Amino acid sequence: MTNAHTGDHALEPGFDHTVTTVVNGVPCELPVAAGMSLLDALREHLRLRGTKKGCNQGACGACTVHVDGRRVLSCLTLAVQCDGREVTTIEGLAGPGETLHPMQAAFVAADGFQCGYCTPGQVMSAVALLAEGHGGSDEEIREWMSGNLCRCGAYNGILSAIKAVRDSGTGDTDA
Ligand code: FES
Ligand code: FES
């Protein structure tokens, strides 16, 4: 197996579990501590800083990623739970080269962000929402995006972006 990711803590004591996973299409074996969150493994271990740490307690959605195509809060997910599973972060959502995922492009077009801190989590949730079939109405979208908070109040742009992708039928899967 190709081990493109080896992490920065391979030799440190306490990292006594090995997680075999695929992150953004790259197979890897990660030495992790038993209590390490997926969020910390991604940000501090693999240096994938696109996934944001907001509240670190499951209340803001900034840390949303996909595990086997389903959205999860990576701050509440143990890294060891991802053994044998496939993880997609915002860095892995785009297509080859500089091609944005349709949801990313729609967020840009609809002004679906201001400071951008919540945006990776918003985009990951939005892609999952459409894949789950929860994009039927404005109310349904707002309800199923309610776990993703935006301190800048960019909710109208986020809603517009999701509807644009829904109506185009292009954005309900990972790249
Ligand atoms: Fe995970 Fe806020 S950082 S929900
Ligand atoms: Fe600033 Fe959402 S764009 S928190």
Q: Which two tokens stand for residue 19?
A: 């997680």
pLDDT for residue 11 is more than 50: no
Stretch 82-95: mean pLDDT: 94
Whether 147 and 103 have beta carbons less than 8 Å apart is answered as: no
Domain with CATH 3.10.20.30 in the chain: 17-91
Nearest to 101 by CA among 130, 69, 124: 124
* Residues 37, 25: Cα–Cα separation, whole Å: 20
pLDDT in tens, 137-171: 999 999 999 999 999 999 999 999 999 999 998 76
Looking at CATH, the fold of the domain delimited by 17-91 is given as Ubiquitin-like (UB roll) (3.10.20)
pLDDT for residue 58 is more than 60: yes
Domain with CATH 1.10.150.120 in the chain: 102-168
pLDDT for residue 98 is more than 90: no
**94 band by pLDDT with thresholds 50, 70 and 90:** confident
Q: What is the CATH number of domain 102-168?
A: 1.10.150.120
Ligand nearest to the CA of 61: 1
Pocket of ligand 1 (CB under 6 A): 53-56, 58-63, 73, 75
